[in-house]
Amino acid sequence: MQIHLIAVGTRMPQWVEEGYAEYAKRLPTQLRLTLREIPAGRRTKGADLERLLRDEGERVLAAVPARARVIALERTGRSLATRELAAAVQAQLARGADLALLVGGPEGLAPACLARADETWSLSALTLAHPVVRVVLAEQLYRAWSIIAGTPYHR
């Protein structure tokens, strides 16, 4: 199974790239995590944010692989404990289909992305900066894998 992290935003700070890469490389080949960065619309004074969000949403949805289960990450989504995330990942592994995790930009995900999602999850009730989400998500996926595999990382 491949997990496609489709995230709005490019040119992340080095600590974000390093943190994400560290956890992504720890995952086994049967649970590969790949990142697809979607360029954010240019936010200038007086920019049409509704149009920017709609355009970003179209680019995000175009990056979703066919037949992938789509999960939108949104502050108001369903909150999962780590063991629940592990169970969800394990169930997806059993299905054999890829997973696409959608992360929005500064204004969140476009309504079209939320409508397309099979589920909406929340990493926290806090509003997290979208670069931070990449690192937290990669770490939590690795932690979920450690539960599935019975390794001592998750204690």
Find out whether 127 is annotated in a ligand binding site: yes
- The domain of 102 spans 2-149
Q: Decide if 75 is inside a domain.
A: yes
CATH number of 121's domain: 3.40.1280.10
Please give the model's pTM, rounded to 2 decimal places: 0.93
Q: Decide if 88 is inside a domain.
A: yes
Amino acid, single-letter form, for residue 151: T
Average pLDDT, the chain: 93
Q: Decide if 91 is inside a domain.
A: yes
Rounded-to-integer distance, Cα 143 and Cα 116, Å = 27
Name residues whose C-beta falls within 8 Å of residue 130's C-beta, 6 or more positions apart in sequence. 7, 8, 9, 103, 104, 105, 106
Cα angle at 148 between 147 and 151, to 5 degrees?
55
pLDDT band at 49 (very low <50, low <70, confident <90, very high): confident
Find out whether 29 is annotated in a ligand binding site: no
Structural contact between residues 12 and 134, judged by C-beta atoms closer than 8 angstroms: yes
Residue 41: half-sphere exposure toward Cβ, Cα within 13 Å = 24
Find out whether 102 is annotated in a ligand binding site: no
Find out whether 47 is annotated in a ligand binding site: no
The model's pLDDT over 96-118, given as tens digits with 9 standing for 90+, comes to 999 999 999 888 999 999 999 99
* Count of structural domains within the chain: 1
Q: Decide if 124 is inside a domain.
A: yes
Find out whether 80 is annotated in a ligand binding site: no
Q: Decide if 155 is inside a domain.
A: no
CB neighbours (10 Å) of residue 9? 20
